C-alpha cells in the first residue's frame, strides 16, 4: 500500500500553546483538520524522517482514531519507529517517561487535560520533546507558521494497526511497537517512592480513596495502589477509561468532587482522597492527619521533569509550600493540597488549606 500525498489548504485557528492545540472534538474530526495540524507539527520540528516517536492519549473520544491517523502519517513522513500505548492509552507522565527512557525523539500526546471528553466536548494534541517536556514556544511558533501555509500532507494508505495487542508490527517501512502503558511507569515510581513503607501503612489499616474519573489514571492507580501497595480492592473508583469519562468532569477541583468531599467529611473518612486530571498531571489531594507534616506527594501525578533528580526537587518544593499551615496538636485536621505543574518542565506550585475535624 503506497504513500499518498493529499492536497490541502490552511485552516484558521490552529495555534498551539505549550499545552498543544485544544478544540471541540467535532472540529478535530472535520475534513483535513487533524491531518493539517499533525503535518504542520511534524514539519515544525524539522520532520520525522529517521526518527522514533511515542504516541498515546488519555482515552477520550476520538483518541483511538486520531492515533491511527498519526501512525499512518508518521509512516508516510519517513519515521523509523513509533511506540504506542496499548489501545492508544498513555498518561502524560508515562509518555514523558517512555520518551526519555527509550531515548526517542519526542512524542505526540492526545489530551485536553481537565476539559470534558466526548463527541460534543473537547479534544487536544501536543508534542513533547526528547527531554519529555512540552515543546517550547519557538517550536510551537514554527508549527503555527506552517499551519498558515500548508498545501499538502502525507499519509500511508493502509488498514488500521492492531492497537490492542502488545508486540511489534510494521506499517510500510516503519516499525510500530505496542507497549503496556502502565508497566514502565510503575517501575519508575518504585525507584522514587518508598513502596514498602507505604504498603506497611495500608497493612496497618490506613484507607485511601482514589477517584480516576473514568480517565487515564485508572489503570495506573489500580496497579500501584491496589495491586502493589495492597490497598483494599475498591480503593480506586471509576477506574476504567471511557471516551466521555462517564460524564464526569476530569478536573481535580472540589467543585467537581462532590462524591469524594462527602466521603472526606464523614465521621470516619479515609486517610487520603485523591483526584487527577484526565491526563494525570495535576493532583487534588485531601488528607486527614494529626500533625503538621505536609501531605505525601502522589506517585501517580509526577510532573514532566528533565531528569529524575528534578522530579524529587519538584515534589519537595511543592510540599514545602504547605509548611506555613498551623500544626494540629489536639484534633485531626483535613488538608486540601493542590499541586499544579507549570508547563515548563521542572516548575511547580502548590496551595494548601485546612478545615478542622
Percent of the chain scoring above 90 in pLDDT: 61
Same domain (yes/no): 153, 191: no
Same domain (yes/no): 111, 198: no
Confidence of residue 286 (pLDDT cuts 50, 70, 90): low
Domain boundary among 165, 180, 195: 180
**If you average pLDDT over every residue of the chain, what do you get?**
80
Q: What CATH number is given to the structural domain containing 55?
A: 3.40.120.10
Same domain (yes/no): 17, 135: yes
Domain boundary among 125, 149, 180: 180
Same domain (yes/no): 227, 169: no
Same domain (yes/no): 254, 322: yes
Same domain (yes/no): 58, 160: yes
Mean pLDDT across 25-30: 98
CA 289/CA 42 separation, integer angstroms: 49
Same domain (yes/no): 164, 196: no
Confidence of residue 106 (pLDDT cuts 50, 70, 90): very high
pLDDT at residue number 109: 97
Mean pLDDT across 194-213: 89
351, pLDDT greater than 50: no
pLDDT at residue number 339: 35
Confidence of residue 279 (pLDDT cuts 50, 70, 90): low
| C-alpha of 234 from chain center | 23
Active site (catalytic) residues: 113
Same domain (yes/no): 113, 215: no
Confidence of residue 17 (pLDDT cuts 50, 70, 90): confident
Same domain (yes/no): 90, 208: no
Q: How many domains does the chain have?
A: 2
Cell of 132: 519529555
Mean pLDDT across 103-120: 94
Confidence of residue 224 (pLDDT cuts 50, 70, 90): very high
Q: Which of 262, 223, 219, 260 is nearest to 241 (CA)?
A: 219
State the angle between helix axes of 308-320 and 183-192 in degrees (0 to 180), rounded to the nearest 10: 60
pLDDT at residue number 163: 98
Q: Which of 19-28, 244-253, 271-280, 322-331 has the highest mean pLDDT?
A: 19-28
Tell me the pTM: 0.78
pLDDT at residue number 207: 86
Domain boundary among 180, 214, 249: 180
Same domain (yes/no): 196, 175: no
Same domain (yes/no): 26, 166: yes
Same domain (yes/no): 214, 304: yes
56, pLDDT greater than 70: yes
161, pLDDT greater than 50: yes
Mean pLDDT across 141-158: 97
Range of the domain at 219: 184-356
Amino acid at each position: 500500500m503506497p504513500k499518498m500525498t493529499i492536497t490541502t489548504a490552511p485552516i484558521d485557528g490552529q495555534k498551539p500553546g505549550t499545552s498543544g492545540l485544544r478544540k471541540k472534538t467535532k472540529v478535530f474530526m472535520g475534513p483535513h483538520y487533524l491531518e493539517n495540524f499533525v503535518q504542520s507539527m511534524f514539519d515544525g520540528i524539522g520532520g520525522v524522517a529517521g526518527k522514533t516517536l511515542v504516541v498515546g492519549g488519555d482515552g477520550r473520544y476520538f483518541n483511538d482514531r486520531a492515533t491511527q491517523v498519526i501512525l499512518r502519517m508518521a509512516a508516510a513522513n519517513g519515521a523509523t519507529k513509533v511506540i504506542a500505548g496499548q489501545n492508544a492509552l498513555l498518561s502524560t507522565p508515562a509518555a514523558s517517561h517512555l520518551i526519555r527512557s527509550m531515548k526517542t525523539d519526542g512524542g505526540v500526546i492526545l489530551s485536553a487535560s481537565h476539559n470534558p471528553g466526548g463527541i460534543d466536548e473537547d479534544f487536544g494534541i501536543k508534542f513533547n520533546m526528547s527531554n519529555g517536556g512540552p515543546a517550547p514556544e519557538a517550536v510551537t511558533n514554527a508549527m503555527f507558521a506552517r499551519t498558515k501555509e500548508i498545501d499538502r500532507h502525507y499519509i500511508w494508505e493502509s488498514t488500521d494497526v492492531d492497537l490492542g495487542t502488545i508486540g511489534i508490527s510494521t506499517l510500510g517501512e516503519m516499525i510500530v511497537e505496542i507497549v503496556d502503558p502502565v508497566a514502565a511507569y510503575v517501575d519508575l515510581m518504585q525507584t522514587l517512592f518508598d513502596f514498602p513503607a507505604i504498603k506497611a501503612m495500608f497493612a496497618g489499616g490506613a484507607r485511601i480513596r482514589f477517584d480516576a474519573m473514568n480517565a487515564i489514571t485508572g489503570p495506573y492507580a489500580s496497579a500501584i495502589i491496589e495491586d502493589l501497595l495492597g490497598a483494599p480492592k475498591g480503593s480506586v473508583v471509576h477506574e476504567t477509561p471511557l471516551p466521555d469519562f462517564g460524564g464526569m468532569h476530569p478536573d481535580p477541583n472540589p467543585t467537581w468532587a462532590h462524591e469524594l468531599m462527602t466521603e472526606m467529611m464523614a465521621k470516619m473518612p479515609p486517610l487520603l482522597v485523591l483526584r487527577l486530571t484526565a491526563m494525570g498531571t495535576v493532583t487534588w489531594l485531601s488528607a486527614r492527619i494529626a500533625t503538621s507534616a505536609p501531605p505525601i506527594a502522589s506517585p501517580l501525578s509526577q510532573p514532566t521533569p528533565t531528569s529524575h533528580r528534578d522530579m524529587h526537587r519538584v515534589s519537595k518544593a511543592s510540599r514545602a509550600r504547605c509548611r506555613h499551615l498551623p500544626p494540629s496538636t489536639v484534633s485531626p485536621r483535613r488538608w486540601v493540597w493542590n499541586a499544579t505543574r507549570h508547563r515548563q518542565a521542572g516548575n511547580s506550585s502548590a496551595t494548601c488549606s485546612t478545615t478542622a475535624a
